[in-house]
Structure 1
Amino acid sequence: MDAPLRATLLSEKTMARLAEWGEVAVNETDKAEKETVKQIIAGADIAITSWGVPQLDKEILDCAPNLRFVAHAAGSVKGIVSDELYARGIRVVSSARILSYGVSETALGLTICACKNVFAFNEEIRNGGWVEDYSVITELFDITVGVVGCGFAGSHYIELLQAFGVNVLAYDPLLDEAAIAAMGAKKADLDTLLAESDVVSLHAPALDSTRHMINGRALSLMKDRAILINTARGALVDEEALAQALRGGKLKYACLDVTDPEPPAADSPLRGIPNCIMTPHLAGLANNGKLKIGAHVADEIGRFLTGGTLVSEITQAMLATIA
């Protein structure tokens, strides 16, 4: 990774840990150009990658014949892995699980604020009014929360919900009823989840099969005054259909940390809708939180070197179903 990015991800403590295990070569430039990467990775046994690093193709890998492990200090590994990498038996871990904790925690925060009607109350008070009618508040108790996608973020969101007295429905075609029950949820098909949930939180990857999975039909199935949370990918939602549902009063709130595209176009139908709450893709770790990524990478390298069990390994077979 480039030097400015490294400073945000790898603390002095983490760098010291790495130095205990071997010689550490770093990119001192402000870009991870392919030629620079070839120089840094030359002869390496382990490589730490991150955002902005080019794909580790044959040309780069030929510079590192001893490479056996890649620790990706970022989310998706799809931009850096190659068939050549897996063909050489090189193992790969990502930091998606660590990033996902920020996503699921943000989703929970948005869930609580939307249920409590915080956004509308804030606007009322800011404009000089006051609120004494609490009838529009829904406590996070004895309601149904639907979770679409039970990967790292979705499963942690379910875990966080266990602290509240809510019913959790989960839709994930890759998991069976027992696996979802072990998380603390009940498996449901998507239509049932949409129809029965007071809050729907999206945590699915952006795939051809999930594009606009929340469309006009899906929105029509949702309860009147339900809440939609999207901290996953903007492409999951048909934004024109969502804008109509919000303007028509079908939904109480849509809380979107992601849009399609990002940032939303100046004429996006979602801009200017009071009950559409938008944040600038901040749910993943930011600022000091990014140092968790470096600590995680160091932990995984330690486990690799000692023969421990990796917690965030990404196999080639997994690439077709993950973000």
Structure 2
Amino acid sequence: MYKYHCLNPIAQVGLEKFDETYVKTETPDEADAILVRSAGMHEMEFAKNLKAIARAGAGVNNIPLDKCADQGIVVFNTPGANANGVKELVIAGMLLAARDIVSGIGWVQEHEEDGDLAKATEKAKKAFAGTELAGKKLGVIGLGAIGVLVANTAIHLGMEVYGYDPYVSVDSAWKLSRNIHHAKTVDELYKECDYLTIHVPALPDTKGMINKDAISLMKKDVVVLNFARDTLVDSEAMVDALIAGNVKRYVTDFPTPEIAGVKGAIVIPHLGASTEESEDNCAKMAVQELKDYLENGNITHSVNYPDCDMGVKESGNRITILHKNIPNMIGQLTAVLAKENMNISLMTNKSRKEYAYTMIDVEAEVPMEVEEQLSAIDGVLKIRVIK
């Protein structure tokens, strides 16, 4: 029997994928796994029994990843599950910036009681005249699940698309339209493009990457879109650029006191993944990741441990070991099993920076003393035997 806890409301269509061997708990203290969306977890103390956390979404800045890794808690996210919802809002953001739709709607609301509104409209509408997207250059920074969809859609809108991502995956590369220009540096995008949209994770080296220096390289009247994370853009530099008229529009999905109300800023209340479809997709993926890990030990889409898959557990026992990535760890683990005359039928090991994961299938039952011996090895963080 496995226990799970939801820190936020999780779509029922996802929770329904848990069968009768799973029980929902009222508190996280009893849980084997936690599902979360936006709830902050940095101040939480985690129970010793907690094995995994699944974020129903892509961003994980609300979860203490290093703390979890040190305690042998695997953290999952759901990349791509909400990609289409975000893509559609990015395209909507470009249209809002191009056509001054927001100001036009505001004018109509202000004059809704005008008895001759139709005539007044014909005189006023030229103030809201905009431009078309077709023929404009779009720079996409980050070609992951969302960036690829945005880039491909923009091609169909008649835009000339430039993409930059030094770490683009093989899967993403296959999905990219062949009509997209691949830039070697992000500076190429800054200098060439009329629209720039950013789709990279919030990391120490990406924080504030759209700063004063980056903006100084951009074309005058550029439109910048940020539907990734607010910390990727230096708010002070962006406000200064909007006021000076160097940036025509800044479209962001992250309201902050610094940017809200600034002329030229179109601020959306974090609606990128707020669609029924996105929430359903994220919930289903998160539950599937947890089930595969709890039942088979497989890790897919982890953000603090390496992905590792040994398929469905068959007969016998499967030993899973979360540990530090240090020399001779495999030798120490197998030595314990050899000492107990336990035959290994299948084994795999994967590492990710300072952390690693080892899965071992054995034909016999695993005695408690073997678990204790494995746990006592220096650098081992958590042992689990799946029977």
What corresponds to 2:286 in structure 1? 297
Matched, 1:94 2:77: yes
What corresponds to 2:373 in structure 1? none
Over residues 221-262 of structure 1, what are the superposed CA-to-partner deviations in whole Å (9 max), with x where a residue is unaligned?
222222111111112222222122212222221111125xxx
What is the identity, as a one-letter code, of the residue corresponding to 2:270? Answer: H
1:37 equivalent among 28, 35, 42: 28
Counterpart Cα distance in 2 of 1:113 and 1:70: 37
Tell me if the contact between 2:199 and 2:228 (Cα under 8 Å) persists in the aligned partners. yes
State the Cα distance separating 1:14 from its structure 2 match: 3.9
What is the identity, as a one-letter code, of the residue corresponding to 1:9? Answer: I
Give matches, 1:147-166, under 5 Å: 147-166=140-159
Tell me if the contact between 1:9 and 1:292 (Cα under 8 Å) persists in the aligned partners. no
State the Cα distance separating 1:281 from its structure 2 match: 1.8
State the Cα distance separating 1:135 from its structure 2 match: 9.1
1:203 equivalent among 199, 204, 209: 199
Counterpart Cα distance in 1 of 2:191 and 2:77: 35
Q: Secondary structure at the match of 2:162?
A: strand
Counterpart Cα distance in 2 of 1:272 and 1:87: 43
Counterpart Cα distance in 2 of 1:96 and 1:283: 14
Change (3 A) 1:27 1:163: farther
Q: Secondary structure at the match of 2:134?
A: coil
- TM-score, reference length from structure 2: 0.62
What corresponds to 1:255 in structure 2? 251
Of Structure 1 and Structure 2, which has the larger fraction of its residues in strand? 2
- TM-score, reference length from structure 1: 0.73
What corresponds to 1:108 in structure 2? 91
What corresponds to 1:44 in structure 2? none
Give unpaired runs (5+ residues) of structure 2.
Answer: 112-119, 308-351, 354-387
What is the identity, as a one-letter code, of the residue corresponding to 2:181? Answer: K
What corresponds to 1:280 in structure 2? 269
Change (3 A) 1:15 1:177: closer
Counterpart Cα distance in 2 of 1:234 and 1:257: 8
Matched, 1:27 2:22: no
2:164 equivalent among 156, 159, 171: 171
Change (3 A) 1:80 1:239: closer
Q: Secondary structure at the match of 1:252?
A: strand
What is the identity, as a one-letter code, of the residue corresponding to 2:142? Answer: G
Give unpaired runs (5+ residues) of structure 1.
Answer: 29-35, 42-46
Matched, 1:117 2:100: yes
Of Structure 1 and Structure 2, which has the larger fraction of its residues in helix? 1
Tell me if the contact between 1:228 and 1:254 (Cα under 8 Å) persists in the aligned partners. yes
Moved more, 96-105 or 201-210: 96-105
1:49 equivalent among 17, 32, 35: 35
Higher RCO structure, 1 or 2 (CA under 8 Å, sep 6+):
1
Tell me if the contact between 2:254 and 2:270 (Cα under 8 Å) persists in the aligned partners. yes
Q: Secondary structure at the match of 1:18?
A: coil
Give matches, 1:63-142, under 5 Å: 63=49, 71-77=54-60, 79=63, 81=65, 93-128=76-111, 130=121, 131-133=124-126, 136-142=129-135
| Identity across matched positions, percent | 22
Counterpart Cα distance in 2 of 1:96 and 1:177: 15
Counterpart Cα distance in 1 of 2:235 and 2:172: 32
**Matched residue count:** 291
Q: Secondary structure at the match of 1:253?
A: strand
Tell me if the contact between 2:5 and 2:28 (Cα under 8 Å) persists in the aligned partners. no
Change (3 A) 1:208 1:294: closer
Counterpart Cα distance in 1 of 2:46 and 2:109: 58
1:187 equivalent among 182, 187, 207: 182
Counterpart Cα distance in 2 of 1:193 and 1:295: 36
State the Cα distance separating 1:306 from its structure 2 match: 10
State the Cα distance separating 1:217 from its structure 2 match: 2.4
Task: Note the aligned Cα RMSD (angstroms).
Answer: 3.9
Counterpart Cα distance in 1 of 2:69 and 2:208: 33
Larger radius of gyration: 2
Matched, 1:60 2:53: no
Change (3 A) 1:207 1:306: closer
Tell me if the contact between 2:104 and 2:125 (Cα under 8 Å) persists in the aligned partners. no
